[in-house]
Amino acid sequence: MQLIQLKRDDWNFICPATGELVFKETGEPNASTVGVWCHKVPHEPENLSEELQAQWATHVAIQDADDEVVDVVALLHSVAQPSWVTFEITTCGMACGPVWSTAWTVLDLG
């Protein structure tokens, strides 16, 4: 699966296939979303499609058995779905110092 890395001020973006925002104003994903992860809780993906759920469970079981931290990017690179694209979006800002967050959003662009 292709991984596109972006730095943005916001985690929402326009889907290249539909021309619509990937996430609705409520925060719910639009139909083309296959799965979403946040770096703060990588072990808790959201909105996983049925096709991705089994691969995710297997990936987590292997990493747990090896006593490793969940590696979302390793899973995404292992998925063989040519029409799926992962957008890795890192947002940066300032609070009481620099803060950042990374989210991985998988879209079916087929």
pLDDT on residue 45: 92
Domain encompassing residue 15: 2-108
- Which pLDDT value is given to residue 108? 93
- One DSSP character per residue, 12-81 reads --B-TTTSSBSB-TTS-B-TTEEEEEETTSTTS-BS--HHHHHHHHHHHHHHHHTT----HHHHHHH---
Mean pLDDT of the chain: 89
Of 27-31, 49-53, 93-97, 102-106, the poorest mean pLDDT is in: 93-97
Count of structural domains, the chain? 1
Q: How far is CA 76 from the centre of its chain?
A: 9
pLDDT confidence of residue 92: 83
Q: What is the pLDDT of residue 3?
A: 94
* Number of residues assigned to the chain: 110
For 46-79, write each residue's pLDDT tens digit.
999 998 999 999 999 988 888 888 889 999 999 9
pLDDT at 6 over 80: yes
